Amino acid sequence: MGETVLVTGCAGFIALHTIMQLNKDGFQIIGVDRKQKPANFLGKYYQIDITSPEIVRIFKENSIDYVIHLAALPSVSESIKNPQADCMDNYYATVNICYFSKLYGVKKIIFSSTAAVYAKPRYLPVDEEHPIDFISPYAITKGASENFIKYSGIDYIIFRYSNVYGYGQDSNGEAGVVAKFFDQMSHNKNIKIYGTGEQTRDFISVVDVAAVNVLALKCNVKNEIINVSTNRKTSIKELYWVIKQVLNYNKEPIYTFARPGDIEHSILDNTKLLNLLNYTPFVLLKDGILDMKDKNDILGGLVG
């Protein structure tokens, strides 16, 4: 029997990929989410809101070695509309998970943070020593969660993801631009690009992110904050052309006004990822988009 891992937010996009990797590596999986159990879930499942004291039942009924804490309310716009809900789902949920993890002897917690804590970058590429700043309640709750994890006394690795994409990402609401473009082009809809399209992002495949999440359990690294990124910049215009080529899409994009508050350029330095975890992200953007197409053709449309 392998060691036991609790995955929070286990019905989500990144979690489902991480769980597949955990299963391959022989870990025993326990999942918790407020949503119903996904089809073909690999492991023991609890449908519980992790802001509830009821989560103590998970720790009482299982001997949990590690926690991968992926549950979050990921929408910046929703965090602005409803900061109370954002605080509960992101910060208080983290406090709850840390409290019971400490009480029941969890060895290490892996936390999914975000590049949003860097706000508008002062220099590029952004390393982990870049000053922290906040331009949304979402970023505030992620930053506060990082601090509570450090305070908790549990060994941890905090990962600050760049722009994650891949099969299974929800294309609705405030989804990543990859999921939106892919879904719209798949249905032959018009593509809208805000501003010039020269804005740049650091896109990383969920395949790499899942591999890193699991590697963090198997290594001796602890109490570190690490960027998970490719350290490569891609413009929105370039992204459009890559997806257009893969899907044989034949429409031209519609350019419109830039959105106020959008960050112009974002790229994360991944030197610590390479040096501490000895991991180099291997999925190139075009290959990642091709993988999305292949899975979409075989398994059906993108799911949330």
C-beta neighbour count of 241 within 10 angstroms:
13
H/E stretch holding 271 reads: helix 271-276
Instruction: Answer yes or no: are the C-beta atoms of 87 and 141 closer than 8 Å.
Output: yes
255 is catalytic: no
Task: For residue 46, give the 3-state DSSP assignment.
Answer: strand
Instruction: Answer yes or no: are the C-beta atoms of 122 and 130 closer than 8 Å.
Output: yes
* Catalytic, out of 91, 118, 138, 156: 138
Q: What's the distance, Cα to Cα, between the start and end of the chain in Å?
A: 31
The rounded distance, in Å, linking the Cα atoms of 282 and 285 is 10
Task: Please give the C-alpha separations between residue 252 and each of 28, 171, 179, 248, 255, in angstroms, as whole numbers.
Answer: 48, 20, 18, 12, 9
Residues acting as catalytic residues? 138
